[in-house]
Amino acid sequence: MLKDLTVERFVREVASNSPAPGGGSVAAQSGAQAAGLLSMYCNLSQNRKKLGDAVEILQEIGEEARFLMSKMLEAIDEDTVAFNRVMEAYRMPKESDHEKAKRKEAISEAGKYAADVPMHTARGSLRVLSLVNEVAGKGNPSAVTDLGVANMQALAALVGACYNIKINLDMISDRGVAKNMESEAVDLLRQGQELYESNRNMLEKEII
């Protein structure tokens, strides 16, 4: 599985002449790394004498961050599975009208799955950005730069995931479904960019 590869092996797989793993898997990895850094920030903020009641909030958010990290690690492989399904659908025979209809349906279903996988990454990444917003300024000031990198990685994951949602929508035959997915992606991106800027402004006040 891709998520079990070493960092070097994974990057070399991305750099190869194979189209998968590609941007969707890398976006999911970025989201997982963002969630991991958020968890680390929370874990490094367990000094109740200095942080008081904030410790309990940080513990809860750290637990959610680890859950989000696990889900986005799974999406690294799911994105490649989705790509392979699309390729298989396009390779289906198309000689007769029956074959063409079956192929069209398979492409639509594969496209829907290929858009749905990054949608989960986008939602998870937005949640990470929201959690960064909740903990900013509450934890260990020595780990604030790690939280800043989490903020950047989460936005990169969100933007990358939304790219992959949009590129797959044309394959979906149900235009209502496609339109709803596009609208959600636009909204996720808007919320994510707003949170990112808010987080950056808060965190840079601590860093500078």
pLDDT of 139 strictly over 90: no
Instruction: Give the integer Cα–Cα distance in Å for 15 and 33.
Output: 19
For residues 159 and 164, give the distance between their C-alpha atoms in angstroms, rounded to a whole number.
9
- Token pair belonging to 26: 């890398």
Q: What Cα–Cα distance (Å) separates residue 119 from each residue in 98, 99, 142?
A: 32, 30, 33
Is residue 51 over pLDDT 70?
no
Number of helices (H) and strands (E) in the chain: give both, helices first: 7, 0
Quote the pTM value. 0.92
- Report, as an integer, the average pLDDT of 84-101: 94
CATH architecture of 21-207: Up-down Bundle (1.20)
Mean pLDDT of 120-148: 94
User: Residue 77: enclosing H or E segment and its boundaries?
Assistant: helix 54-90
Average of per-residue pLDDT across 106-114: 97
CA distances from residue 152 to 41, 127, 180, 192 in whole angstroms, order as listed: 15, 13, 27, 11
Decide if pLDDT at 120 tops 90.
yes
Instruction: Report whether pLDDT(48) > 70.
Output: no
pLDDT at position 13 over 70: yes
Amino acid at 181: M
Which residue type, as a one-letter code, is found at position 121? T
Radius of gyration of the chain (CA): 19
Domain ranges of the chain: 21-207
- Compute the average pLDDT of residues 59-72: 96
Q: What is the dihedral of CA 130, 135, 141, 143, to 10 degrees?
A: -50
| The pair of three-digit structure tokens given for residue 153, joined into one six-digit string | 């990685």
**Cβ atoms within 10 Å, residue 19:** 11
| pLDDT, tens digit (0-9, with 9 covering 90-100), for 185-195 | 999 999 999 99
Q: What does the alpha-carbon distance between residue 79 and residue 31 come to, in Å, rounded to a whole number?
A: 13
- What SS3 class is residue 138? coil
Q: Is 170 helix (H, G, I), strand (E, B) or coil?
A: helix
